[in-house]
Amino acid sequence: MAVGVATVLIAASTTSSATARPQAERLAESDAPLPGLVPKPLQVSAKGGPDFVLTGQSRIVARGTDADEVGDLLAAELRPATGFDLPVVTGRPTPRDVVLTVDPEAGFGEVEDSPEAYKISSTAKGVRVTGASRHGLFNGTQTLRQLLPAFAASPSRVNTTWTVPAVSVLDAPRFGYRGLMLDVARSFLDVGEVKQVIDAAAAAKISVLHMHLADDQGWRIEITNAGRAAGDDIDYTALTRVSGATAVLGNPYQSADGHTGFYTQDDYRSLVRYAAEREIEIIPEIDIPGHTNAALAAIPQLNTAGSSHPATEDEPVAPHNGTIDVGYSYLDPNSEATYTFIEHVFSQLAALTPSEFLHVGGDESHAMTQRYGHEGYVAFVERALEIVHGLGKKTIGWNEYAESGLTAGDGVQYWAGTTEHAKRAVLEDGAKLLVSPGNMSYLDMKYHPKTPIGLS
């Protein structure tokens, strides 16, 4: 995986640019342009007639399983900008209310079979958002937020008229996995910053946050010594004590050094909960066998003669490398300490992660394959996959790992290079394919070769 930076794309609704009349009058016109919605729903149609106006007397009426939870989230999102109480209630709605309903039998037309289907009906008499599930309803509320004036995202009160156009919306996602990868290994983001990313991702209806937790430059997740196997003398707390304090250093693509830090296991649990409330699944990545210099810098037992850094008396562990170089580090594929380490780390990660998937990396192991051949790399990955599968988890890995022993339901994340092995894994092994070609989906890449800023 190429070096990445954390980048967030936030979509906001738009309104008419006319200035001849007061804003409330402009927004109440039935022929006014509809706000831009991102991602674009399957169907959006103007109903005609006056728009709905959210007022201080408006309530959020929740109906169906978990609708109250979604209502609480919507109210919390809208209260700062509107200054309205927006109580979440049950019972009979009034014409001033927003009604949120979970009802899988509500009828969703051509997207009837999607568990994430939702529909919105807005008139002067009220707004109704109906989802086939909690997830569908939540997605519907994110569209509703975009139908409101863009000021709805303000952290402080805005004195305006809060209108929703008279529209009908029917929507469901084309893909169940809609992912955002966040590289916190090279430069750390604290819990509050990651929650801001989750909020932005939820607004765009992203369903998966892929957290890249370890790389050459840093290690970001606490691993304790609890549950060590008999004979395992590795001090796993050194991972964050040593490599939680390192990060990428200044380079031509950035103006300052990266940020250091790490997540305690409680921090990570809180992020998993926060994301789940917003219908986002967190999938953690510990990249192996390459991109492992941070582990080698913290754990002496990994610095065997067969690793990228054989220990010496003067240098028992690998030195920190804050460059953006890739492909130079690797674990020893012939050392039992390597697999003891992998099993302990992934065992704790599996216990912390509700997702059925753990991401094992597998990319850019250039120096390892030069030394041990392609067969050595494949043998390593197959043993690592056996460990993760034994923990009851499916794996995801970058497309280089697709030649290994994947099982049905494992994921192949294509990012660069040949597609041959990824295709075979899907067609013959029953693997699932994630498409994230680096030159198109990495937010730090140049849009065009002549673009002055960005990686290429």
Q: Which residues contact 49 (CB under 8 A, 6 or more apart)?
A: 30, 123, 124, 166
Q: Which of 384, 380, 349, 338 is nearest to 234 (CA)?
A: 338
Element (H, E) at 164: strand 162-164
Q: How far apart are CA 99 and CA 126, in angstroms?
A: 8
Q: Which of 395, 393, 391, 428 is nearest to 413 (CA)?
A: 395
Specify whether the CB–CB gap between 236 and 357 falls below 8 A: no
Determine how β-strand 162-164 pairs with β-strand 52-54: antiparallel
Backbone angles phi, psi at 101, to 5 degrees: -130, 135
The amino acid that residue 309 corresponds to is H
Q: How far apart are CA 203 and CA 200, in angstroms?
A: 5
Helix (H, G, I), strand (E, B) or coil at 98: strand
Q: How far apart are CA 87 and CA 106, in angstroms?
A: 25
Question: Partners of 285 in the beta sheet?
Answer: 212, 359
Specify whether the CB–CB gap between 106 and 63 falls below 8 A: no
First to last CA, the chain: 13
Specify whether the CB–CB gap between 253 and 212 falls below 8 A: no
The pair of three-digit structure tokens given for residue 119, joined into one six-digit string: 């529909």
Q: Which residues does the annotation mark as catalytic?
A: 364
Buried b (16+ CB within 10 A) or exposed e, 316-354: ebbebbbebebbbbbbbbebebbbbbbbbbbbbbbebbe
